[in-house]
Each structure stands twice: as structure tokens, then as C-alpha cells.
Amino acid sequence: MSRPQALVLDFGGVVTRTLFETHELTEAALGLPAGTLTWRGPFAPETDPLWQSMQADAISERDYWHARTREVGKLVGEDWERMETFVQRARGAEPEAVVRPEAERAIRIAHSAGIRLAVLSNELDLFYGADFRKRLPLLSLFEVIVDATYTGILKPDPRAYAAVTETLGLPAAACVFVDDQQRNIDGAAAAGMCAVRFDVREPEKSYAEALDRFGLVLQA
């Protein structure tokens, strides 16, 4: 069997660190006392009932983050309805500061090896703002970006994966897909992609596994 030709990445959580991992930065940026934000999602699911509801498919990932957006907005005395407001206020104007170093290494290794790169996100511009791509040079290495902010088709809908493979002009089996949500991994596998579940608690291990599918090594 021939090696795959394209690496398809989810964005938030896979390329960038999650908001769960940057509570201290968020609190400092918003002027909140240290320890104010206690929800930890996958890092402590037993303490986050809302996250448990999302994992049980009672609510969507987008529903989860809309709820957190409203909650944090109230903490600073404002009405926030847009996730874009939360992310930009929490992380400021330095997008490179929240990119996972393991992600940057893996992406550049793949690009240098001639592997085609694509992003398949449910909310890239919705969460980060429409000008974010211009402010993050790393994204210039990606040939294709499919964002449900505009398509309205959320993973794990089969049409989301098809949009990537059709734009790349590749069969699904030629694509390695990486995502931190099991439902999206299941959807990719059902679509015929080689799917790698990204563990936000072990980013280096996850990227090493993804690159291994191409016969590449995640160098230190």
C-alpha cells in the first residue's frame, strides 16, 4: 500500500493550544483573579459537566464554547455572544504565542517532505476572527483550508471530509486526518481517511504518530 499524500489537521486544539491550557494567560489578559477559570475539559472531565454533555453528544462543540463565551463575558461585566470576542480578548494580538511548538515542527517537516497540507475546521474564523490567517504565517504553508464558518457543514458530516478530498483532488485513503474529538475521528474513518486521534495531553506523541504514517520522524 502506498504512503498517504496529504496531512489534514483540525485547528483549535491540534495546531493551537486549547483554552483549557491557557487559563493563566486568559485571566491575566482579562484582569481576572488567578484561579477564576476552573473548567478543564479533557484535562479534568470529571469536574466539567458541560464538557461531559458535549462528549455524550447532548450538545455540540460549538454549543460548549458559546456557553463558555457567555460565562466569561459575564465575569468581566460584558455580554459576549461571539466566540471571536472571547478568543481575541483572551489571547490578544499574538497568534504565534498559542501555536503548539510540536505542531509547528510537524507541519514544517511534512511541508519540507512534499506532503500536501490542509486544515478542516468547524470554526477557524468564527473563533479566531477573519484576519487571523493573515497574522499567522504558518498557515501560508497550507494548500487547502475548509472552514465550516463559511460552509456551514460541521464535522463529522461526511460532506465536510469530502470537501477537503475533492479540493485536494485526492482519494480519502491518501489523507491522514488529525483531530482531538473522537466523533470527528470516527467520521473521518467512515469517510475512508487514515485517522489519528490527537491527545491534547500528549501533543508530541500524537504528532509523531501522524508523521509516522508518512514514514517521517518528529525531530526534536
For residues 36 and 142, membership in a common domain is answered with: no
For residues 156 and 79, membership in a common domain is answered with: no
The enclosing domain of 108 has a CATH number of 3.40.50.1000
> What would the mean pLDDT of 118-144 be, rounded to a whole number?
91
- Report the Cα 78 to chain-centroid distance in Å: 26
- What is the per-residue burial (b if ≥16 Cβ within 10 Å, else e) of 40-54? bbbeeeeebebbeeb
182 located within any domain: yes
208: cell is 509523531
Q: Which domain holds residue 199?
A: 6-17+99-212
- pTM tops 0.85, yes or no: yes
Extended beta strands in the chain, E state: 6-9, 116-121, 144-147, 175-179, 194-197
Extended beta strands in 94-174, E state: 116-121, 144-147
pLDDT of res. 134: 86
Euclidean distance between CA atoms 181 and 123, whole angstroms = 14
Euclidean distance between CA atoms 7 and 84, whole angstroms = 26
> What would the mean pLDDT of 124-128 be, rounded to a whole number?
85
Pairing mode of beta strands 6-9, 116-121: parallel
pLDDT of res. 131: 83
* pLDDT tens, residue by residue, 65-112: 999 999 999 999 999 998 889 988 887 657 788 899 999 999 999 999
> What would the mean pLDDT of 10-20 be, rounded to a whole number?
95
- Report the Cα 21 to chain-centroid distance in Å: 13
**Does 160 score more than 60 pLDDT?**
yes
> What would the mean pLDDT of 27-36 be, rounded to a whole number?
94
For residues 197 and 172, membership in a common domain is answered with: yes
The label of the residue with cell 453528544 reads 57
**Does 127 score more than 90 pLDDT?**
no
Average confidence score pLDDT of the chain: 94
Report the share of the chain in percent with pLDDT over 70: 99
